[in-house]
Amino acid sequence: MEKGRETKVWAHRGASGYRPENTMEAFELAIRQGADGIELDVHTSADGQLIVIHDETVDRVTDGTGLVGEKTLKALKELKVSTSAEPEGIYRIPTLQEVLDLMRTTDMMVNIELKNSICFYPGMEEKVLKAVKEMKMEEQLIYSSFNHYSLLKMKQLDSQVQTGILFSDGWVNPAMYAKKLGINAVHPAVYHLKYPQFREEVKRAGLKMHVWTADKPEHIQLVKEAGAEAVITDYPDRAIALV
């Protein structure tokens, strides 16, 4: 995992500044660019498969419409992921299994974000843990979510898993909150680094800090100076050059 950087570089939805987000091509490029990890988003299909896509619906990123959770894997695989990015090509929505198959060939971290704050996907936590366990990839994984109940469930199912709370700006001492819940890391938006005492609070709680989504040089610099363990970025090559 160690590539000698104090602040690791995790590719947000893959190298999504250059390839359609959450596609195999975006993850492959993150590997080629030398990222230390990837971040991805997971939902569940109508037939219970773990699907890597950001939104609850397929509308924004594909040529289809409707909820991910109401489509079968077969129907999801028929959709074309739309792209304005080069190179042109046919991009498809991957399953979590496909991404794990790829990442197992690396020593990179995989940050699975459980996208279950709006659609709850009963049983998703068990399925994700099972998939990772079967691949023997436990050491490479950290789980994050805006649904903190889901992170608690992950911990209940396996106390060894690494977890990080996602939150938006304006929270009072989210580090203390996370620590009390037995969570391992805070995953703040980059703007949260400017809140008074936040960095101190994280330090005091002894938690790790993985910051999203830092694409501008000044934001990447801010994350580095804050002493974060990882910067989550759409442009891993840019961040690597800066950290």
The residues assigned a catalytic role are: 12, 54
Structure token pair of residue 63: 């040529």
- For ligand G3P, the nearest residue by Cβ is 212
| Residue among 54 and 80 whose Cβ is closer to ligand G3P | 54
113 binds Ca ion (CB under 5 A): yes
Q: How far apart are CA 156 and CA 154, in angstroms?
A: 5
| Residue among 131 and 166 whose Cβ is closer to Ca ion | 166
| Residue among 33 and 144 whose Cβ is closer to ligand G3P | 144
Phi and psi, residue 16, nearest 5°: -75, -5
DSSP annotation string for 166-186: EE-S--S-HHHHHHHHT--EE
| Residue among 53 and 129 whose Cβ is closer to ligand G3P | 53
Structure token pair of residue 216: 């501008």
Task: Find the part of the chain contacting Ca ion (CB under 5 A) among 23-31, 92-100, 107-115, 182-190.
Answer: 107-115
229 binds Ca ion (CB under 5 A): no
Task: Find the part of the chain contacting Ca ion (CB under 5 A) among 94-102, 109-117, 147-155, 220-228.
Answer: 109-117
Task: Find the part of the chain contacting Ca ion (CB under 5 A) among 2-10, 108-116, 125-133, 201-209.
Answer: 108-116
166 binds ligand G3P (CB under 6 A): yes
Q: How far apart are CA 243 and CA 238, in angstroms?
A: 9
3-state secondary structure of 67: strand
113 binds ligand G3P (CB under 6 A): yes
| Residue among 117 and 173 whose Cβ is closer to Ca ion | 117
Q: How far apart are CA 241 and CA 68, in angstroms?
A: 36
Q: How far apart are CA 192 and CA 10, in angstroms?
A: 18
* Total site size for ligand G3P, rule CB under 6 A: 11
Q: How far is CA 214 from CA 15, 59, 179, 191, in A?
A: 13, 25, 24, 9
Residue with tokens 């079967």: 134
Closest CA to 14 of 47, 46, 39: 39
**Around 136, how many Cα atoms within 13 Å sit in the side-chain half-sphere?**
1
Torsion, Cα of 108, 91, 119, 42 (10° steps): -10
CB of 200 to Ca ion, least distance (A): 26
27 binds ligand G3P (CB under 6 A): no
219 binds ligand G3P (CB under 6 A): no
108, 212, 229, 238: which one binds ligand G3P (CB under 6 A): 212
41 binds ligand G3P (CB under 6 A): yes
21, 25, 36, 41: which one binds Ca ion (CB under 5 A): 41
The residues near 2 (Cβ < 8 Å, ≥ 6 apart) are none
List interacting residues with ligand G3P (CB under 6 A): 12, 39, 41, 54, 113, 144, 166, 187, 212-213, 232
List interacting residues with Ca ion (CB under 5 A): 41, 113
